[in-house]
Structure 1
Amino acid sequence: MRLTDHTDYSLRTLIYVAVHPDELVHVQAVADAFDIPKNHLVKIVQKLGQLGYLHTVRGRSGGIRLGRAPERIGLGEVVRAMEPDFAMVECFHQGDNACVITSACNLRGVLGEALRTYFAVLDRYTLADLVGQPAELRRLLGDAVAAVIPVSDIKVKRRVTESSS
């Protein structure tokens, strides 16, 4: 089983953000840390945000942070959401399976069992399990000071309406 780069980068992004829990992280910081093209990462961050794994803040002072606690982000759930499909061989495709031996072959059953076992293992783990050593992960990531903005430093501008002036 091999994951697409899309899923790999999704997991790495979640790990990076998880080890910066009190900060808004810039997408560029994640791209730099893992040498991932920023344009590709922006699409991944957008999807992670739509799925509720990340909370995105737009604007110059914007960034990303986890959309829920790391203990509530299951690895199996993320992989299922980010991968396009798990049809490992042609016989997994119900509608367009042209394999002539499907009716007598047990490959689909064996690989199906392997896939269920694969997800059973992933389903036992959460993002919190991946970031058990946050200080060491931050050190390995280079943790550039300019890469993150402490959440406490973000100022929210209030809109002044005519009735309140």
Structure 2
Amino acid sequence: MNSEFTIAVHSLAYLAYQPDRMATSEMIAHNVNTHPSRVRKVMSCLKKQGYVGTKEGIGGGYLFDRSPEQITLAEIFRATSIGSIKPSWCSGNGDDNCMVACNMAEVMDHIFCEAEEQLIMYLQRITINDVLERVRAARQQSTT
């Protein structure tokens, strides 16, 4: 899985935490602990998908454009990371004399596709609001 998914979920949870305030890419980057240009790249993707709105200029930034209860992590995964579970390296050299080498890439492709489908089914059950609630619960546990 790539870091864009984590940055996107973190950024949306951050915006959901302060629903009436805009946040700049610098503010989000500071919260996520990454570079503002990485945040802008991810937020651009989220804007295209209709999850966030933007305002240019002084006092501008990003604002949550939808309800956190309506956005699932599966949607965010599809927008930022589909296909990222499959590694770029492929085993096997296509040697016609070896049944394993000839077929391993296809077999592994199917395994990674099935794993991604299972992950998406799991992420479909979790919303941005659920993430924010888990953050609040973790904070409460750490203060007691």
Same fold by TM (over 0.5)?
Answer: yes
Partners of 2:10 and 2:88 in 1: CA distance: 30
Structure 2 regions of 5+ residues with no counterpart?
Answer: 95-100
Under a length normalisation based on structure 1, what TM-score does the superposition of the two structures give? 0.67
Q: Which protein has the bigger helix share?
A: 2
Which residue identity lines up with residue 7 of structure 1 in the other structure? F
Distance 1:91 1:132 in 2: 37
User: Counterpart amino acid of 1:24?
Assistant: M
Report the RMSD for the aligned CA atoms in angstroms. 3.1
Q: Do the aligned residues in 1 keep the contact of 2:2 with 2:84 (CA within 8 Å)?
A: no
Q: Which residue of 2 aligns with 1:37?
A: 35
Q: 1:19 to 1:136 in 2, by over 3 A?
A: farther
- Higher RCO (C-alpha 8 Å, min separation 6): 1
Name stretches of at least 5 consecutive residues in structure 1 with no aligned partner. 140-165
Is 2:43–2:52's contact at 8 Å kept on the other side of the alignment?
yes
Within 5 A, what are the aligned runs for 1:5-154? 5-83=3-81, 85-86=83-84, 88=86, 99=94, 100-102=101-103, 106-132=107-133
Percent identity at matched positions? Answer: 22
Are residues 39 and 33 of structure 1, via their aligned partners in 2, closer, same or farther at CA, if it must alter by over 3 Å? same
Q: Write the distance in 1 (CA, Å) between the matches of 2:134 and 2:27.
A: 20
TM-score where L is the length of structure 2: 0.75
Q: Answer whether contact 1:19 1:138 (CA < 8 A) is retained.
A: no
